[in-house]
Amino acid sequence: MRVLGVDPGLTRCGLGVVDGLPGRRVQLVAVGVATSAPTLDVDQRLLVIERRIEEWLEEHAPDTVAVERVFAQHNVRTVMGTAQVAGLAMVAAARRRIPVALHTPSEVKAAVTGSGRADKPQVQTMVARLLRLEAVPRPADAADALALAICHLWRPAGALGAPERPGSALTPAQRAWAAAEQAARR
């Protein structure tokens, strides 16, 4: 299964494509960011981002698009731009009849690190480790997009309506994180 992760943002929109199967190793396909200049009018900035998302959909032909669920922030301008870009990604996928999934930041952190309260460096480090990369993807938006794609692939059993299996509530990353924590305590 191929997943395009989208970390929406008006200045930088993270894009990451990962191949894998639920509970299996994941493989990096592509990572990058779509950028728009703050000097442009908002409609033109959205057009620039939308074109890049369309190019990624065309080039990588994902089976699913995973988008970060926008949550209320203190800065209304920031949340508006983020929500607008998230909407662009969803519409672009819908145009191609590609399913879209929304994941909260804490869901993504928990799937990738084992903790919904992990900080950005922890998420970035685990993304690099899980994808066997020599360096953490930069900028952070790119790593976040990859984390979204991994999260979608590694949702616990039952997330897609599949029956829950005993002991399957943790993702592979969560199990690895827990094992590392236990080893560190010894």
63 is annotated as contributing to ligand binding: no
Cβ-proximal residues to 9 (8 Å cutoff; 6+ apart), any chain = 81, 82, 85, 141
Strand order of the β-sheet with 2-7 is 27-35, 12-19, 2-7, 64-68, 100-103
Q: Which of 19, 50, 141, 144 is catalytic?
A: 141
Q: Which of 19, 50, 68, 107 is catalytic?
A: 68
Say whether 101 sits in a helix, a strand or coil: strand
43 is annotated as contributing to ligand binding: no
In the residue annotation, 68 being an active-site residue is answered as yes
61, 139, 144, 177 from 134: Cα distances, Å = 26, 15, 17, 19
Closest CA to 170 of 106, 112, 105: 112
Contact 124, 140 (CB under 8 A): yes
19 is annotated as contributing to ligand binding: no
In the residue annotation, 141 being an active-site residue is answered as yes
CA 94 to chain centre: 18
Q: Which of 7, 19, 50, 144 is catalytic?
A: 7
Closest CA to 66 of 26, 18, 34: 18
In the residue annotation, 41 being an active-site residue is answered as no
Per the annotation, where are the binding residues for Mg(2+)? 7, 68, 141
Catalytic residues: 7, 68, 141
